Amino acid sequence: MTNSEAITELRREIARRGRDKKATQRIVFELLVHMAIAIVGMGLFLTYQNPLLRVLGLLVATFGCMGVGTNTHTSSHYATSEKRWLNEALTFWGYTAFSGLSATDWWQKHVVQHHPAPNVIGVDPDADVLPWFALTADEIHARSGLRRFYYGRLQFWVFPVAVAFINLNMLAAGWVYLIRMLFRSKDRKPSHWIDLGAMLAHYVIWIGVPLLFWPPPAVLSFYFLRTLLLGYAMYAILGPGHLPAEARRTASEAPQCADFFSLQTEGTVSFRTCAIGRFLCSGLEYQVEHHLFPNISHVYYPELSAIVQKFCAERGLPYRSYSWPVALWKSWHVLRSPPAVVSAIASQEPKTIP
């Protein structure tokens, strides 16, 4: 039995369990809870002058906002509802209007480019963070002088500070992408105009409306501090999935030498967390499951994890899962000892499987 035949049988098993059905009501309910948490946190920060309550409000708001983002991630993969328009509406709401990120930019970079080729150099935009950081030994060896010294000795210590700017960078990148697309009449689509409207609505929601009730310094400081904290939240959830050295980085020739399943499992790492962490991550801790089945509602990933691990074991495919603290450490430590780029991933197809 080939990998393709095995995954077909696996999909049949998922369907028999009814886990191919979209968990729309539960996911939307979780989204509403995350939104409520974010609003309560903002209210705490802006209403009270007590520093401890302000810190608490900021942390609560960041938790809620990050939860909205991870929940919406499911919608961006059309895994919240059977209705395409509802998935897209939730994506424009959660990613763009609520979070300020360009939905069309996300679909292009994450769904179109990243998912088919995770950690493939030159294909996956998430695998390239030059010139700020080098994630592979090859990138370091290609440099000389001060830049090589920085990558080899200093980037490990600079990274924790730079993480704060991840969300700011994504906000800016979204604007650059969207403006570029709006000026290209051949490539421009109605979705880009919807994206623009939602991005403008974001500032009305988080700055315009609060200014009606609270003074500008408080509103602006809340927005800025929350944006910085979201950088750390994004790293804590997204970093462990592909940054650890165990998530192999491959040359662009690799997809020609490996089947889809080998490529997905080689470049992906899962991590384990508690009930609160699972609520916050919305399935992103199950990266292997998500990369194999991105169109399945994330609420089913805990149940599917056992059969995916069995599938990987039977097919000779890697399945790496660490505790959340260990995965975080590995995603930082990789900057101290970046791995070499793998020139190719051999297909893991066994000759015969009964």
> pLDDT tens digit string along 23-41?
999 999 999 999 999 999 9
pLDDT digits (tens, 9 = 90+) for 239-297: 999 999 999 998 876 555 457 888 889 999 999 999 999 999 999 999 999 999 999 99
Domain spans in the chain, listed from the N-terminal domain onward: 3-333
Secondary structure, 3-state, the chain: CCHHHHHHHHHHHHHHCCCCCCCHHHHHHHHHHHHHHHHHHHHHHHHCCCHHHHHHHHHHHHHHHHHHHHHHHHHHCCCCCCCHHHHHHHHHHHHHHHCCCCHHHHHHHHHHHHCCCCCECCCCHHHCCCCCCCCCHHHHHCCCHHHHHHHHHHHHHHHHHHHHHHHHHHHHHHHHHHHHHHCCCCCCCHHHHHHHHHHHHHHHHHHHHHHCCCCHHHHHHHHHHHHHHHHHHHHHHHHHHHCCCCCCCECCCHHHHCCHHHHHHHCCCEEECCHHHHHHHCCCCCHHHHHHCCCCCHHHHHHHHHHHHHHHHHHCCCCCEEEHHHHHHHHHHCCCCCCCCECCCCCCCCCCCC
Mean pLDDT (the chain, rounded): 91
Percent of the chain with pLDDT strictly greater than 70: 94
Considering the entire predicted model, what is its pTM?
0.91
